[in-house]
Structure 1
Amino acid sequence: MSSVALTPEQARWSESIRQRLAACTQAGDARKARAYADCFAEDGVLELDGETLAGRAAIFTWMSAPSVIPQPASGAPSFISHHLTTSHIAFADEHTAAVRTYWLVTSAAGLDHNGFYVDRLRREGEDWLIAHRRPKTLWVAPASMLRT
């Protein structure tokens, strides 16, 4: 197995990217629309199944609306929590990176669904921002909140 060593600068950028992805995940779970949208470039794109949101303002508006994940019919308290797992970061140059990150989602039902993000990040100044994100769901539990 061969591996390519990162330069010290790429190692620093990798950590910045991981921090950005974590901030985006936590803001999304907490429905903090401004913090979530600010993880994207001004012209960033969030490509969802059946809907593409173009621009930070559109992403903010979408995140400000009620969650697309319905509350349980029982009225019982619920939560959704994304957990990022492994990620692969490939730098195209000093300003762009392609990232694939796997995620698991837990809810009151337990393991709810899983998948991965296909992200393209762009460095603007010292900040790495999401230029394009496409989530892909691989599996949904029979008792998932997505099915209620």
Structure 2
Amino acid sequence: MSETDLNPSTLEDQIGINQLYSRYTHAIDDFDQQGWLDTFAEDGVFDIDGTAVRGRDQLSVWFSQFEDYSQKSMRHYISNIGISVDGTTAAGRAYLIVLNVSNGQLAATGTYLDSLSKSDGKWRFEHRELCTDAKAEA
């Protein structure tokens, strides 16, 4: 990171994006559909291994299929977050680990590749791509 990356507005944006990542994972684990939808732009895209869902209506339908999911005690952990801010847009990358805390089994790992935008003072995902690299029965 260069010294020019450390200006106060960039630091504020990076904190805001880190908070976005946290809200996203908490919303999934708490089965908070509206909270999860609010992390995406209105026409946001969520792409898992090449299967994309676009817009809040489709995202809502996709999320609803996991109604019993919260009963499985899954926890999503995001780490090694890298963020590059350019005004009101940003690119992000992070590792994902999904753990079934009821049995201690690893459910999945992967990498998020994100395009983000800031509107009305809030950062949201324009395009969130998840590239999984391990799956296990949890």
Measured against the shorter chain, the TM-score band is: 0.7 to 0.9
Please state if 1:129 is matched with 2:127: no
| TM-score in terms of structure 1 length | 0.81
Larger Rg: 1
The structure 2 residue matched to 1:82, chosen from 58, 67, 76, is: 76
Identity %: 29
Within 5 Å, give how 1:1-148 maps onto structure 2: 3-5=1-3, 6-66=6-66, 78-91=72-85, 93-107=86-100, 108-141=103-136, 144-145=137-138
| TM-score in terms of structure 2 length | 0.87
Shift of 1:109: 3.8
> Which has the larger share of helix?
2
Q: Which runs of 4+ in 1 moved over 6 A?
A: none
Point out where structure 1 has 5 or more consecutive residues left out of the alignment.
72-76
CA contact (8 A) 2:46 2:54 kept: yes
- State the partner residue of 1:74: none
CA 1:51–1:120: 2 relative to 1, 3 Å = same
3-state DSSP class of the match of 1:138?
strand
Distance 2:25 2:49 in 1: 18
The C-alpha deviation readout for 1:26-51, integer Å capped at 9, x for no partner, is: 11122211110111000101112353
Distance 1:115 1:66 in 2: 19
Distance 1:39 1:140 in 2: 25
Point out the more displaced range, 23-32 or 8-17: 23-32
CA 1:51–1:121: 2 relative to 1, 3 Å = same
Distance 1:44 1:83 in 2: 22
Distance 2:67 2:95 in 1: 22
The C-alpha deviation readout for 1:9-64, integer Å capped at 9, x for no partner, is: 00000000010111011111222111101110001011123531111221112112
